[in-house]
Amino acid sequence: MPNKSNHHQGGHLTNKKTPVRKNQVQKGDTLIYALGGLGEVGKNMYCYEYENEICIVDCGVLFPGDELLGVDYVIPDYHHLIRMNKKRKFLVITHGHEDHIGGIPFLLKQVQIDAIYAPRFAKALILKKLSEHKGLEKVPIIEIDEDSSIKTRYFTVGFFNTIHSIPDSLGVLITTPNGSIVHTGDFKFDLTPVGTNANYQKMAYIGVMQPDVLMADSTNAGVEEFSISEKDVANEILEIMRNAKHRLIIATFASNVYRVNQIIEAALKCGRKIAVFGRSMENVVDIARKMGVIKIKNSQILSPEELSRTPDNEVCILCTGSQGEPLAALSRIASGTHRHIHLKPSDTVVFSSSPIPGNASSINKIIDKLFRSGATVLSKSVLTNLHTTGHASKEEQKLMLQLIKPHYFMPIHGEYKMLMQHRQTAIDTGMPPENIFVCANGDILILRNHELLQSDWRYQGDDIYVDGNDISGLSTAVLKDRRILADNGLVAVIIAIDSKENKILSRPVIVSRGFVFIKDSQALIKEAEFIVGASLQEKMKEKTTFSEIKNCIRSTLEPFLYKKTHRNPIVIPVILNSKQTMEEITKKRAAHDRSKRPIHSRRENNHREAK
């Protein structure tokens, strides 16, 4: 910990004391910090630390944008927790969305966690996730609900029901020796909800106890009005089902379990059977059926084979791809590449979702393809209530602030703009601006004797890119190369040398991919080969290493290519050490020549051998 009041010199503790600043971390402080979730929508991970215990709330992933070429997930940098491996750590999950549970397998591979506490539906999703990773099932997962309580040496953790787009969503009350913190998780207020209602009484009771800090969801801080009720969405979907004369295809978020259930219930009411497509959708429906959240008989679910034999007016296809994801079911349906579903002009396609920022263009491309096929396409607009959010709008955030009545406030879960909008909302409700802390990942707040302070110390809050199975963070360097390849291409320089004689056997050969059009750039390539050859001749007048030769090629070629083309391709030197290489080339040529001999001569040889 960064308490610098004592200094070790030559192994002895000095008596010299430096004055301790107020915002310097001291022994006995409760530390509050985020490793993910601030300045972004995703990879939520919030830590509460006291002495040798750390309470972690949520452990999510962030789905990468188009600029992160080939990256599967973005996770927080866990190095701080790895360094703190001697401290006791337990993980509390607020609900089962990927931006809150997706990072658990990556965390467990690197950090010792005593136990995971998760609500019922989230627990089922976590168990499914961990079953895909060997050796991680041994961490105990303890089911919690709003009546549960976790007691450790320094922490007491309680819960209250909130409303979100997935069952079993909880807010958290954390009590530490320095004060109490309310962490809302993702929430909204819906006065006619689908599923469990929020516990307004418990929230108001927590407010009466005057908690020190509120940390609240900021995703919809820029949305003015109360969000539409899920009941209104259910009625809209039912009306569309009743009016549709032919086949219905409905795309929504697989993670929006209540919406998925509403679509299924509406279809069954209208005498339609359900066909489910998309791996994540199939998983969620399967888990929700086992838990009794979705009630549908096997006879009411269509297999892909049964789909083609069922009349169109008795079919509802439920699929993923509402955000235009290229590999999702709806994208393949729109492109005509889906194995089981081929669009018909009579189809009605419904988007029961809103575009996530940045996805609008890919969604529009899908909608355009659907229109070209002649299908009727319905999406959320001012005229239709086909989607509602799972996050609190400005008015709902005010209600949470008024119910909890905290002394201090820290907006969480949102881009910087959202955090600042939430800050203004808190000021509008009467909270002093100096009591509001807008932080970045890694910033530390100190809770000391019911007072909240900004620390002069911070942890690393970097992103780690998960590329395939790699969670080392080394993919960051790989990504840099991918970007250069995408923008500037590659140039390989092949030279043959005799290391014993220390001489070049032939002039360098340059091959390029994605850099310039070779046929139009012969003069450039020839000039580059000449310049590299001259530079190497000079270099090899004295003994050199392979590394020095490679550096010579790069330092000669890179400035020349940039000067001529204003591009910086990746330059890859390929050095052939002649004698071995020439022997291998000779062998390959001989084998190639044998295979090219006329068939009749081979037959003669075989005939001789048979004799």
Active-site residue list? 217, 391
Burial (CB count <10 Å: 0-12, 13-18, 19+), residue 489: middle
| Cα–Cα distance measured from residue 560 to residue 273, given in angstroms and rounded to the nearest whole number | 66
Q: Give yes or no for a contact between 107 and 59, defined as CB atoms under 8 angstroms apart.
A: yes
What are the beta bridge partners of residue 192?
none
Burial code of 375-414, b = ≥16 C-beta within 10 A, e = fewer?
bebbbbeeebbbbbbbbbbbebbebbbebbbbbbbbbbbb
Residue 274 three-state SS: strand
| Cα–Cα distance measured from residue 272 to residue 176, given in angstroms and rounded to the nearest whole number | 53
Q: Give yes or no for a contact between 300 and 263, defined as CB atoms under 8 angstroms apart.
A: no
Q: How many CB atoms lie within 10 A of CB 529?
A: 18
Burial (CB count <10 Å: 0-12, 13-18, 19+), residue 578: buried
| Cα–Cα distance measured from residue 368 to residue 183, given in angstroms and rounded to the nearest whole number | 42
| Torsion angles phi and psi, residue 466, rounded to 5 | -95, 115
What are the beta bridge partners of residue 451?
448
| Cα–Cα distance measured from residue 546 to residue 540, given in angstroms and rounded to the nearest whole number | 11
DSSP3 helix / strand / coil % (the chain, rounded to 5): 35, 25, 40
Chain centroid offset of residue 550 CA: 38
Q: Give yes or no for a contact between 130 and 105, defined as CB atoms under 8 angstroms apart.
A: yes
Parallel, antiparallel or unpaired: strands 451-458 and 45-50: unpaired
Q: Give yes or no for a contact between 46 and 34, defined as CB atoms under 8 angstroms apart.
A: yes
Q: Which two tokens stand for residue 598?
A: 């006329």
Burial (CB count <10 Å: 0-12, 13-18, 19+), residue 23: middle
| Torsion angles phi and psi, residue 171, rounded to 5 | -95, 160
465 backbone φψ class: left, alpha, beta (φ>0; ψ -120 to 50): beta
Chain centroid offset of residue 178 CA: 34
Q: How far is CA 529 from CA 368, 535, 553, 555, in A?
A: 49, 10, 10, 14
What are the beta bridge partners of residue 13?
8
| Cα–Cα distance measured from residue 477 to residue 557, given in angstroms and rounded to the nearest whole number | 22
